Structure 1
Amino acid sequence: MRVLLSGYDSRGGVEPLVGLAVRLRELGAEVRVCAPPDEEFAERLAGVGVPLVPVGQSVRALVTAATPPSAADLPRRAAELTVAQLDAVAAAAEGCDALVATGLMPAAAAARSVAQKLGIRSVYATFQQLTLPSPHHPPLAYPGRPFPPEVTDNRVLWDLDAQSINALFGEALNTNRASIGLPPVDNVRDYVIGDQPWLATDPTLDPWQEPADLDVVQTGAWFLPDERPLPAELEAFLDAGTPPVYVGFGSMPMRTSTDVAQVAIEAIRAQGRRAVVARGWADLALIDDQDDCFAVGEVNQQALFGRVAAVVHHGGAGTTTTAARAGAPQVVVPQAGDQPYWAGRVADLGIGAAHDGPTPTTEPLSAALKTTLTPETRARATAVASAIRTDGTTVAAKLLLDAISRERPPMPA
């Protein structure tokens, strides 16, 4: 069996595909991943022996550009991505039995179109539920297309969401579908999501509420157990004192008027703690040469989060779940997209605190840390960690391979 996993996204959207790819391969499938050409993604996939089919522009280059993408530019960029995705996925999907589409809406739409053209099974998977229509929560607004503040009915908001997606991506998608002999779609979002989407999140952290308008399959989060050792210098730092506080913002460039590293380190020191500072796409750096702080680049977060007193981060789905699995209390400083949702979930579960707003300042961050570093929060985080499922990749891989097996004609006797 051959499977293509397609996802144009930042690190938090590519890492789950690594986990699923490895599990599919362990179950006997041949797997390749279609993802952005960023060097760190290529290295990550090469490290587990999974082929990368690069598509589109570097996500890091787009996110960290001196002039960030504007809302007005979104349709043009979406059109370019649709063309690039169609070309790359069409080539990569030849001979495949199934395709899993994730990531940005126009990229997922192109991937599902290729699967339709080739006549192979495809499924849409998301790493947060806010892209899935439900009467229990509102959709995320696209940049430059806010919802009317007087509209509070979730079903109406989801209708408006479909209209926004059609306006932003419909013309580019249907023009390119016509070029490969496919009919137009009149609802891009519903076409991408399909009849039975997968929600690749943990039910404790991200419970899907019924009844809803969709038949959602919640697989659990997709993770690859990370066996990489921590660097010797980091091990020495961890062993040299009490557990530090980790601070890192992943793929967020942190465009703020304040020095984020300085604010974070001062807030951590105000609680009498040491710090591990992750550089990330914000390129955080140490603020002085004191020996109570240590800077890291790419590192095994699964191992590191089990050794820290708390994790200060942006609220990406992957980081939130990794910290929760490790039993590490969290302070979430949400920047955009689904991150305020994850910040709210951390606070609601009692496993940490949500910073008010995207710009960290010393006093509010220190107050959030004070709450998070209590024995009560640590105990709650430990309890929640024991409830986190660890079989998400296995569930998803078996669902996909079983579906392929059912559709294959029986072997002749």
Structure 2
Amino acid sequence: MKFLLAAPGSRGDFQPMLALARGLRAAGHEATVAARPLYAPDAAAFEVPFVPLGRDADEFLRTQSGPNAIQAFLAQELQAQLDVLPALAAGADLVLGAGMAFAVRSAAEAAGVASLAVAYAPGLFMPSGRRSILLPEPLLLTLRAFHSKHGLPDVENLLAYAFAPERVLLAADAALVGPLGGVTLWAPPTGALLLEDPRPLDAGLEAFLAAGAPPVYIGFGSLTGSAPGLNEHLLREVVGAVGCRALLYTGTVPPGRQETNGQLFRIGHTSHAQLFARVAAVMHHGGAGTLAAAARAGVPQVVVPHAYDQPFWAERAHRLGIAPAPVPARGVDAPTLIAALRHALESPSIQAQARALATTLSPRNGVETVVKSLTLRPR
């Protein structure tokens, strides 16, 4: 079979689809990933065919200003998908869209190809979650114009159309997601799509890990630097007050050029699966992939949600007993973070619950489950 996997979003959207593409190719199928150009080297490293789709959000926002910048970016993204995806979809047996792939269903139907939406959290397909997501009206108008041009049925609600539950594949662990309120999906939750990276950790990082007690990992994914108060100065204050060692994800330090400074060791993109098993706790933004990796590692978490589905995951981690109460990025301060990190590191109940939850999560990578579902089940 031939698959097109569209993931025009952040690394958290792209990396699971890269993992799925590898799994499909290992099973003898053709799979191409379409994502932001900056992820082309990642696809090449795993020998997965790649097609650029959309622009880098950081690049766009650096050149734009004002309250309409994000709306303009989303409008350009949708138009780019409608321009590019129909031709890419032609000849595929199935198109899958994740993250900001709002146009995948429309593009696939225009090409006469089946499609599914891949979700990493319930917000996009649950009515209660959709109400909290405000998309600019021009996006719906653009999509309706595309449908009219291609003779497709009209669309009244973009998210309800693109993420209709019966055509959603939820790539998350059922134990982490919790109850879905009776919503019926295309398939039961499959488990997280984990990218198995056999490459060893950087030598400098290995040396830092071996030099003392397990550190705390601190990283906020693609949102690093987006919360004004959540800067390195504040994080240094937190680490110093707690008295722990820490790994600080900067998003900019390339492999082989990490820099150490006292208790903090700066790192770039690193395999969470390998790293989290060797840390004392994980402080992060609440991205689905980061939370799943930390949960599987059985370590306590401190979740600092910024936006999107992150408040949902932050609350779930707290309810599951593997993290203190969420610490929202907006208005964050050192005393609150210090208290939360101390609680995560010193609470016997959080430590025990994190270890216990890890034993309940499926040891099997969700990729295997999805590959079987996609290739054996009629669509």
Same fold (TM over 0.5): yes
Deviation at 1:240, TM superposition (A): 0.6
Q: Are 2:260 and 2:266, in contact at CA under 8 Å, matched by a contact in 1?
A: no
Deviation at 1:185, TM superposition (A): 2.2
Q: Do the aligned partners of residues 282 and 184 (structure 1) sit closer, same or farther apart at CA in structure 2, a change above 3 Å counting?
A: farther
Q: Are 1:253 and 1:281, in contact at CA under 8 Å, matched by a contact in 2?
A: no
SS of residue matched to 1:386: helix
SS of residue matched to 2:351: helix
- Structure exhibiting the larger radius of gyration computed from Cα positions: 1
Distance 1:373 1:66 in 2: 41
Correspondence 1:327 to 2:325: no
Deviation at 1:376, TM superposition (A): 3.0
Superposed CA offset, 1:314-354 (max 9, x none)? 11111111111111211111111111111111111111223
Distance 2:371 2:358 in 1: 23
Correspondence 1:174 to 2:144: yes
Q: Are 1:243 and 1:308, in contact at CA under 8 Å, matched by a contact in 2?
A: yes
Q: Are 1:74 and 1:168, in contact at CA under 8 Å, matched by a contact in 2?
A: no
The residue type equivalent to 2:147 in the other structure is R
Distance 2:58 2:174 in 1: 30
Structure 2 counterpart of 1:361, from 299, 317, 333: 333
Counterpart of 2:112 in structure 1 is 119
Distance 1:248 1:101 in 2: 26
Counterpart of 1:15 in structure 2 is 15
Deviation at 1:126, TM superposition (A): 0.7
Corresponding residue pairs, total: 371
Q: How does 1:205-224 map to 2 (within 5 A)?
A: 205-212=176-183, 217-224=188-195
Counterpart of 1:26 in structure 2 is 26
SS of residue matched to 1:122: strand
Q: How does 1:31-70 map to 2 (within 5 A)?
A: 31-38=31-38, 41-62=39-60, 65=62, 67=64, 70=67
Deviation at 1:69, TM superposition (A): 6.7
Superposed CA offset, 1:181-217 (max 9, x none)? 4343233223212333111111111123342366663
Q: How does 1:360-379 map to 2 (within 5 A)?
A: 360-374=332-346, 375-379=348-352
Correspondence 1:337 to 2:335: no
Counterpart of 2:80 in structure 1 is 84
The residue type equivalent to 1:171 in the other structure is L
Counterpart of 2:130 in structure 1 is 139
Distance 2:183 2:260 in 1: 54
Counterpart of 2:250 in structure 1 is 279
Q: Over aligned residue pairs, what C-alpha RMSD do you find?
A: 2.5
SS of residue matched to 1:31: strand
SS of residue matched to 1:90: helix
The residue type equivalent to 2:12 in the other structure is G
Deviation at 1:381, TM superposition (A): 0.9
Of residues 52-61 and 311-320 in structure 1, the stretch that sits farther from structure 2 once superposed is 52-61
Q: Are 2:345 and 2:351, in contact at CA under 8 Å, matched by a contact in 1?
A: yes
Counterpart of 1:386 in structure 2 is 359
Correspondence 1:102 to 2:76: no
Superposed CA offset, 1:17-53 (max 9, x none)? 0111111111111000111112xx1111111111111
Q: Are 2:281 and 2:345, in contact at CA under 8 Å, matched by a contact in 1?
A: yes
The residue type equivalent to 1:207 in the other structure is G
SS of residue matched to 2:6: strand
Q: Do the aligned partners of residues 176 and 231 (structure 1) sit closer, same or farther apart at CA in structure 2, a change above 3 Å counting?
A: same
SS of residue matched to 2:222: coil
Q: How does 1:235-254 map to 2 (within 5 A)?
A: 235-254=206-225
The residue type equivalent to 1:45 in the other structure is A
Q: Are 1:275 and 1:293, in contact at CA under 8 Å, matched by a contact in 2?
A: yes
Distance 1:214 1:322 in 2: 24
